[in-house]
Structure formats: C-alpha cells, structure tokens
Amino acid sequence: MTVKPVTSRSLRDASEVARGIFDTATAVGADGTPQRVHSEIRESFADALYRAVLAERPRAVVEVGMAFGIASLAILTALRELGEGGTLISIDPGQSTQWKGMGVESVRRAGLSGQHRLMETFDYIALPQLLAGGAELDFAYIDGWHTFDYTLLDFWYVDRMLRAGGVVGFNDCGMRAVHRVLRFVRTHRRYDPVDVGLPATFTGRNPLATAARRVTGRNDADQYFRKREQWEPDWNFYAPF
C-alpha cells in the first residue's frame, strides 16, 4: 500500500525553522542558547513524515519522543497546511531537562504552538492517561526509548487508540529491538505496510554488520503501517515472531 504524496515539496521548503536546523545542525533552546543537534531523525525521514501527514489528513496525532522537534515540525507543518484544525500531542519526559526545551522552542518559533500539546512525562504514564480519557488517534509516530519493551508498550497503547484506517510510523527500525516489535505488529495485529517512498537501507557499522542486516531484513528506513481493522486476538493467541 502506497501513500501518494500530495506535494513534491520537502520539509525544508515548507518550514524555515526546519531548514535552519538542517543547514546549521543546531537548534535553539528556550533561553536562546544554540545546541548541536544529535539523535535527530534524518531529513529524508522528516520529508516522508511531512508528506505522509499531508496525504493522510489526520486530525489527532501522537508522537512518542520529541527531542529537538524535527518530527514535530514535520507533523505540525503539514497539519497547518491542511487547515483542518488537527493537533499533535508529543510525549517526552526529558523535554525541559535533557533537551533544554529545544523541541518546544522550535515549534514556538515556527508559529505552531496553537496546534501542539506536550505531555512531559513517561510514555507508560501518558499513553494510559490518553486511553483512559477516550482519545482516538488518526496517526502516530513512535520514536521513544528503543528497547523492545518500551517500543512494544508504545505500539500496544497506540493500537488501542488508533482508528481503523489510521497509520503508525516507527523510527530506528534497523535496531534489533524495534525490528522485533515490527514483527509483532505483522503477526499479532492486523496492519498492512505502507510505502511512504523511502528506499530500504541496510548499512551497518561494517560490511559484516551490513550483510547481517540484509539477511535478517533489518531495514533502517522508517516504516509505516495502516490499521486494517479493530481486532483483538483470543485470550490464548500466540504466533512466532
């Protein structure tokens, strides 16, 4: 299944703030102090996310992990262009501390704060709160703590809130833990892969690691899935993954 882009523009074309971060590899904190960007999503991944949101036209979006706010800018820039009042909830317990408020400041500088809400607490607290509050999601982007348990927890709660036909995207898919969660998505829930135009990449630290990634199918590009239907397995269901 392919998401057909509604524009050929990139995020740097659409967002001056994002362009500045890409060009200088720095972001500005709430106190005005610049900091070198690290651990950010790749520009090509941000472009794919921006175009996917434009194509899907979601009203309610959640992202797990905000950091410097590049994914946030991709989502919110698209929501603003859609002009349908869509909102983004970002979950990041370290936004004010570890990240010095740089993600929130990037959103503010881009004039997108009105469509944004930060839940500055852990995913295992924020996601159950959203579920208990009756939240319904159209789109989600998971880029939080990349251990198997945390990533699976993020998906499990997102799945509870995501409507049939909604889309969830994952970052850092080449990591073993995230790759294993993607296998769970395919075997334990009813989701279809979505092609957002990102070529598969298997590059490891060395040729042996690259070969291992190819053999195991650990594609490092962001991967997206569309929820085919609301489905709950039987109480004793299990499939190897």
| pLDDT in 10s for each residue of the chain, 241 residues | 888 777 888 999 999 999 999 999 999 988 888 999 988 899 999 999 999 999 999 999 999 999 999 999 999 999 999 999 999 999 999 999 999 999 999 999 999 999 999 999 999 999 999 999 999 999 999 999 999 999 999 999 999 999 999 999 999 999 999 999 999 999 999 999 999 999 999 987 888 888 888 999 999 999 999 999 999 999 999 999 9
- Say if pTM beats, i.e. exceeds, 0.75: yes
Pairwise CA distance, residues 232 & 226, whole Å: 16
Q: Is 43 buried (19+), middle (13-18) or exposed (0-12) by CB count in 10 A?
A: middle
Write the secondary structure of 102-159 as one string of H (helix), E (strand) and C (coil). Answer: HHHHHHHHCCCHHHEEEECCCHHHHHHHHHHCCCCEEEEEECCCCCHHHHHHHHHHHH
Q: Which domains does the chain have, with CATH numbers?
A: 15-227 (3.40.50.150)
8 A C-beta contact, residue 135 and residue 57:
no
